[in-house]
Amino acid sequence: PFQVQKKNIRTAALIICTFTYLIIGACIFDALEDAPFTDRKHRLERKFAQFKLDHNMTNESFRQLSDLIMNKTVVRHKWKFYDSFYFSTVVLALIGYGHRQLITSRAKIFCIFYAMLGIPMWLITFQSTGERLNSLLSCILARLKHSLHMKQTKITDGELLVTESLLSIVILIIGACVFSKYEKWSFFDSFYYGFITLTTIGFGDYVVLQNNRDKNFIEHAEYFFFCMAFIFLGLTVLASSMNLLVIRIVAFYSQERLLEKLRQEE
């Protein structure tokens, strides 16, 4: 009962922290995006008014046209096989850019079942590759330490975590360089895209492989593979960090429970 109460208090404290953090975030986002809004809005509205005047359009027909054009984003491109592969990856990785929308009910139903089966599979696979990457990295680091004639060649979880954080940063920077070259985004925007992708937030404001798609795919197939590799490798590195953190937290509790059980049995 004391143990339970302690857990309840810890959970309550965490919930309060998270809510406070959400509210702080809301305040800052509110303040940050406020200023440029009014300017941009006025500028756009002036341009629209000019357009209506130039082309003798009523407000109603302008609204109709807007709706049609919005709708156009949905049907801008014809899906190719590599688009669909990209889409499947984006679904299972929980990124969900929304750069392609499913319109028919049968596609939505398929997507629900596809995700229901695929997401657990994806998580187990990445948990497994993450664990393998951890042991590979331990091995490499231990050899490195050995070749540097260090006395303590055992690798701690902390050292692994630091290595993986560095690795994530390297992947993000390489990604940003390549994306900014092929997509003609600024370096910062490309970095932002990579971060939003690897955290699996996937806003969809920047999505790779959307410009001159067919031409690019034929001339720069290697770029398609780079983009996929970025997602797979980046998520593997993150999965191995998560693996370390989860093993640390969950395993600690479960080992405690096991030890208690063993003690009771004695």
For residues 186 and 207, give the distance between their C-alpha atoms in angstroms, rounded to a whole number: 14
Q: Which amino acid is at 29?
A: F
Instruction: Tell me how far, at minimum, the Cβ of 198 lies from a copy of itself, in Å.
Output: 11
Of residues 136 and 150, the one with the C-beta less far from a copy of itself:
136
For residues 194 and 207, give the distance between their C-alpha atoms in angstroms, rounded to a whole number: 10
C-beta separation of 67 from 209 below 8 A = no
Which stretch in 14-22, 197-205, 231-239, 240-248 sits in contact with K ion by CB under 5 A?
197-205
Instruction: Tell me how far, at minimum, the Cβ of 125 lies from a copy of itself, in Å.
Output: 4
173, interface contact from K ion, a copy of itself, none, CB < 5-8 Å by kind: none
Backbone torsions φ then ψ of 209, nearest 5 degrees: 65, 30
For residues 119 and 131, give the distance between their C-alpha atoms in angstroms, rounded to a whole number: 18
Instruction: Tell me how far, at minimum, the Cβ of 264 lies from a copy of itself, in Å.
Output: 15
Q: Which residue has the tokens 């925007």?
A: 189
Instruction: Tell me how far, at minimum, the Cβ of 68 lies from a copy of itself, in Å.
Output: 6
Instruction: Tell me how far, at minimum, the Cβ of 177 lies from a copy of itself, in Å.
Output: 17
Which residues lie closer than 8 Å to 24 by C-beta, 6 or more apart?
A: none
- Measured in whole angstroms, the distance separating CA 32 from the mean position of its chain's CA atoms is 23
For residues 200 and 227, give the distance between their C-alpha atoms in angstroms, rounded to a whole number: 14
Of residues 127 and 180, the one with the C-beta less far from a copy of itself:
127
Of residues 41 and 150, the one with the C-beta less far from a copy of itself:
41
Instruction: Tell me how far, at minimum, the Cβ of 155 lies from K ion, in Å.
Output: 33
170, interface contact from a copy of itself, K ion, none, CB < 5-8 Å by kind: none
Of residues 121 and 162, the one with the C-beta less far from a copy of itself:
121
Of residues 90 and 137, the one with the C-beta less far from K ion:
90
- Which of 130, 175, 194, 202: binder of K ion (CB under 5 A)? 202
C-beta separation of 174 from 163 below 8 A = no
Q: Is 205 helix (H, G, I), strand (E, B) or coil?
A: coil
Of residues 15 and 150, the one with the C-beta less far from a copy of itself:
15
Of residues 117 and 150, the one with the C-beta less far from a copy of itself:
117
Q: Which of residues 71-100 bind K ion (CB under 5 A)?
A: 96
Q: Which of residues 96-125 bind K ion (CB under 5 A)?
A: 96
Instruction: Tell me how far, at minimum, the Cβ of 153 lies from a copy of itself, in Å.
Output: 18
Q: Which of residues 33-62 bind K ion (CB under 5 A)?
A: none
212, interface contact from a copy of itself, K ion, none, CB < 5-8 Å by kind: none
Q: Which long-range contacts (CB under 8 A, 24 or more apart) does 197-203 make?
A: 197/95, 197/230, 197/231, 197/234, 198/168, 198/171, 198/172, 198/231, 198/234, 198/235, 198/238, 200/93, 200/94, 200/95, 200/235, 201/95, 202/90, 202/94, 202/95, 202/96, 202/97, 202/98, 203/97
Q: What residues make contact with K ion under the rule CB under 5 A?
A: 96, 202
